[in-house]
Amino acid sequence: MRASAGLAPALARAAQQVARVIGGERFDERMAPEEGRAAFLDLCFGTLRRYGRVQAVVRLLSHKGDAAPRVQALLWCALYALESRRHAEYTVVDQAVRACRLIEHWPAHGYVNAVLRAYLRQRVSLERQLNADLEARYQHPRWWIDALARTYPEAWGAILEAGNTHPPMCLRVNRRRAQLDAMRSELNAAGIVSRPLWGSALLLERPSPVERIPGFADGRVSVQDAAAQRGAPLLDLADGQRVLDACAAPGGKSAHILECANVALTALDADASRAARIEPGLARLGLAATVRVADCTDLAAWWDGRPYDRVLADVPCSASGIARRHPDIKWLRRAGDIAAFAARQGAILHALWRVLAPGGKLLYVTCSVFREENDAVLDAFCANAPGIRRLELVDGRPAQLLPCAEHDGFYFGLLTKTA
């Protein structure tokens, strides 16, 4: 615990950002200020992970009705700061009151002071009320909770709990430039403890800034979640194949494909700004691909008519399996979004099936835990398109990986074109 006299500016900046997210804007980490960046990100991410809880606390303690959005957000951020125990309680209260002037709501300082002091007095009794409120207890929207409970009647609580944790940090060893055991020893010598999971994955005991990781700058390792690393090996790659990564940005899976085999890779993405990150990432690893900017469903815009032996379709989705990395997602998504994603996913599959060679393989991937985006999409596609056979996953793991302490939530489905 530490006293933090400079906490007020961080609380003010975080409150303004959180208010924008709850108002419907995506959180862009690149907009974080250089000064106080770590404190700002901790307050934003921590508050958004616990939004279901902190907004319930304010609702229970406030007798004022709806305060201005930035004032409410300031209270949410201050409550997270109190519960994180990174600062002395009196410091948080004092700095939150001072932050009222910084968010241009000084008349609310008495209200902010009263709510925070009421929380400190009543927090034990408040727990009973919070535990009875599913959104407050599990810190996810109610529709999200209900959807998981339907699909995973035994595991939904654990999935939600995992979604509120800090995500793990995993490295992918570039087998073209390093060996797994040697890389692990080098990390250990630098004080970075790791353990192997599968393939080229090394799970770090504690996250570390990339600039401190041996081998990152010279392309011997990359940061990539262990579940995401599952994709390239499932494609059954071989030298000389023609391969398409249809939704490639920012390029992690493209790089892994090229690390696994000498293939002719086309990395395609509809977002020009995200696609611009692919080539620099490959260059760091000593790899190269043909990078194109186009919507993969608009074949006339990018396809030369030559079929691909392998297609990776890492499709746009709800990102419900990686919500702990992007906690704004939980509160920006709406129940109706899932059907819209499923429709888009189906359209992508139908388009990409046309570019796959007979005997070729297509790997369908999402970072979602909702069945409607995963099994349901593949079931509908397989029932309505000819010449499809669904293949077993050769690593023996289930198609759906759920978020846990080792990895995020991802789904994998492998198809082959029989004719």
- Give me the active site residues, please: 367
Give the burial string for 55-70 (b: 16+ CB within 10 Å, else e). Answer: bbbbebbbeeeebebb
**Tokens linked to 153:** 């009647």
Report the SS3 class of residue 45.
Answer: helix
Distance CA 302, CA 296 (A): 8
CB atoms within 10 A of CB 84: 15
Distance CA 21, CA 301 (A): 35
Nearest-10 crossing angle of helices 109-131, 69-84: 60
- What is the DSSP code (8-state) at residue 32? S
Within 13 Å and on the Cβ side, how many CA atoms surround 65? 0
Q: What angle do CA 19, 24, 26 make, to 5 degrees?
A: 90
Task: Concatenate the DSSP letters of all residues of 256-316 into one string.
Answer: HHHHH---EEEEEES-HHHHTTHHHHHHHTT---EEEES-TT-GGGT--S--EEEEEEE--
Tokens 């939704």 sit on residue: 247
How far from chain centre, in Å, is Cα 293? 23
Q: Is the peptide bond before 250 cis (omega within 30 degrees of 0)?
A: yes
- What is the DSSP code (8-state) at residue 228? G
Tokens 């260059």 sit on residue: 283
Tokens 């009543």 sit on residue: 122
Distance CA 165, CA 138 (A): 11
Q: CA 280 → CA 97, 171, 226, 277, 291, distances in Å?
A: 45, 18, 22, 6, 11
Distance CA 365, CA 359 (A): 20
